[in-house]
Chains A and B, each alone.
Chain A
Amino acid sequence: MSKNIVIEPISRIEGHGKVTIMLDDMGKVSDARFHVTQYRGFEKFCEGRPYTEMPSIVERICGICPISHSLASAKACDAVLGVRLPRAAAKIRRLLNCGEFIQSHALSFFHLSSPDLLLGFDSDPSKRNIIGLIQANPDLAKDGIRLRQIGGHIVEWLGKKRVHPAWVVPGGVNEPLSEEHRDMMLAEVPDALAIIQRTLDLFKDSMEKYREEIRTFGNFPSLFMGLVNEQGNWDVTDGLLRVIDAKGHIVADMVDPSKYQDLIGEAVEPFSFLKSPYYKPLGYPDGMYRVGPAARLNVCNGMGSPLADQEWAEFRDLERGPVMSSFHNHYARLIEVLACVELMRSLLNDPEILSPHVRSFAQPNHYEGVGCVEAPRGTLIHHYRVDENGLMTWANLIVATGHNNLAMNRSVLQVAKRFVKGDTVPEGALNRVEAVIRAYDPCLSCSTHALGQMPLHVELVGPDGRLLHEVKRG
């Protein structure tokens, strides 16, 4: 008799999801699905709004990565205006994106994933949390807090608000960077560098412990996509799309993001509100690809800064071709933080960053625009159409978690096949199913949050819908 195991909700990710694991008549895992059960409707309800409001509206999609949305949105609006950004504005936007990467990656690595990595996937779930992390390694927890603080300072000092700063605008940014804030940011660089370098050392030293997870956490051939600059190097704010195959061959390169529809198709599955984008030339679902930290390090020729380049070379040495295991998103996140700190230092030492000319003004010159950046979790595309009055008539958003949807489903299946046996789910297996999703750091978007604990709920359901087994933990 076939059975279903339902895990709902998935914890330590942004938003709420659910996993269903299907067992066959022999009690073996036959399929698995990752469902996104939230519906937000941003693409629809922004219709009719002035395009100028879009960077502020779309920031509300998320409380963790609002900067990415405002940057992608502003870039789509830049295209509607048809303006060339002042050089200082482009540099300040890059600096802002560095701040977001540092704070978002710090939250993901130190506070969401470190409890698994440091305490072990089979450790007591009541201690496998941030308090348990502090008891085991208070210095690591402090480093995480300090790093997140540094990223937050960049966002706050530029945008005057830590969350949802209405500072990135069509044509540039609202206000130039002050000399005082430039100096304050520069003063944080040594601390950030020291933290990320010792964390990288710690992670690399402990990697051997995770051999089984590396082998089974989304370790399969796929395409990878990310932005690169004109030299093919890592670029998270501007740049052109590159897609590589599982052997590392470039299959699409230097594609202007405005042509994303030549590369990407979007499928919809009835079990999830999350779209399933795919690489168009291979069709659905064979065109499964991955985005995000490891994908970005796979597609680029280098990081473009000395310390991060050394780490990148070591990372790429893990495998002969692209690094396949999604577990290595954790590793890649740390390398990206290092790259961001180096980029931040370089931008802040450039005198042009203080230029007062930070915005270009124009009326809409085009009825359509596409903006694309790399968000911490992967490539983010905003595509807008406006009418002659500049009112939004249509929007399409492809977010990082969407790009990864097919791969996350595949990853959950891989982990479930390895760790779930029989018609109950042991704690360690349950945590690994969650952890493989957390490796992608999916952002199902923060919506209403509530006081109280988020329970983990596992149901074993027979084909007739009858509840066979249930596990809850608070």
Chain B
Amino acid sequence: MSKRIIVIGYGNPSRSDDGLGWHAAKRLSEEISSSQLEILTLHQLTPDLAEPLSRAARVVFIDASVEGEPATLRFRSVGPGGPPPSAFGHHLTPDTLIALSGVLYGRAPEAFAFSVTGVSFDFGDTLSPGVEAVLPLMIEQVRECLEGGP
């Protein structure tokens, strides 16, 4: 996993909208083919990712959110200057992970996070109609981000 750009779609694909990252990753894999891009799907962010991420030029995180208005798309920069790390460690935030890359391996990649506020987190492997409707716009923005934006 030493490619220049890494996309991480994470969440629980068995809990409807929590699988947003997995759905987005699948869509991106179908649309983009590049030897410089690696797309991962994970349930949660764990510390062992810090080392491979330190070798990437850019990292994009995609996850569902429970905060804010349902089906709202959000985008933010991730990194040591972002929100403070979680006080608890059973899964890591993107910011903590990027901070780990910087502190432990001497290099924190440029990183961004896309999220959509979930409507349903019930058992199921499909997105709710509200989140499904936002997915194309998010994919478009992720693609722009991968191509060098924003």
Contacts and interface: CB of A to CB of B under 8 A. Distances in A.
A449 B47 contact: no
Interface string A245-280: 000000000000000000000000000000000000
Contacts of A131: 85, 96, 99-100, 103
A11 B88 contact: yes
B90 to A, nearest CB: 5
Interface string B13-36: 011001000000000000000000
A11 B90 contact: yes
Interface stretch (A144-152, A194-202, A215-223): A144-152
Contact of B12 (A112, A144, A448, A452): A448
A129 B11 CA distance: 22
Contact of A138 (B18, B44, B104): B104
B90 A112 contact: yes
Contacts of B50: 145
A31 interface: no
Interface in B102-125: 103-104, 115, 121, 123
Tell me whether chain B's interface is mostly helix, strand or loop, or mixed. Answer: loop
A144 B89 contact: no
A449 B11 contact: yes
B46 A126 contact: no
Nearest to B105: A142
Given A148-B46, A446-B44, A451-B115, A14 B86 contact: no
Nearest to A125: B87
Contact of B90 (A14, A45, A110, A447): A14
Interface residues of B, number: 35
B146 interface: no
A347 interface: no
A229 to B, nearest CB: 31
A190 interface: no
A91 to B, nearest CB: 26
Interface string A104-125: 0001001110010000000001
B87 A126 contact: yes
Contacts of B12: 63, 446-449
Interface string A447-461: 111111110100000
A55 to B, nearest CB: 15
B43 A451 contact: no
A187 interface: no
A134 interface: yes
Interface string B45-80: 011101100000000000111110000000000000
Nearest to A110: B47
A452 B67 contact: yes
Given A11-B90, A129-B88, A449-B11, 14 more contacts: A63-B12, A111-B89, A129-B87, A130-B85, A130-B89, A134-B103, A141-B47, A141-B104, A145-B104, A152-B48, A449-B43, A453-B86, A454-B86, A456-B88
19 contacts: A12-B90, A13-B90, A63-B12, A107-B47, A112-B90, A129-B85, A130-B89, A131-B85, A135-B103, A145-B51, A145-B100, A146-B51, A162-B42, A446-B43, A447-B15, A449-B43, A450-B65, A451-B63, A456-B87
Interface of B: 11-12, 14-15, 18, 42-44, 46-48, 50-51, 63-67, 85-93, 96, 99-100, 103-104, 115, 121, 123
What are the 7 tightest A-B residue pairs by CB atom distance, in nearest-first order? A63-B43, A11-B88, A450-B66, A148-B48, A448-B121, A149-B48, A451-B65
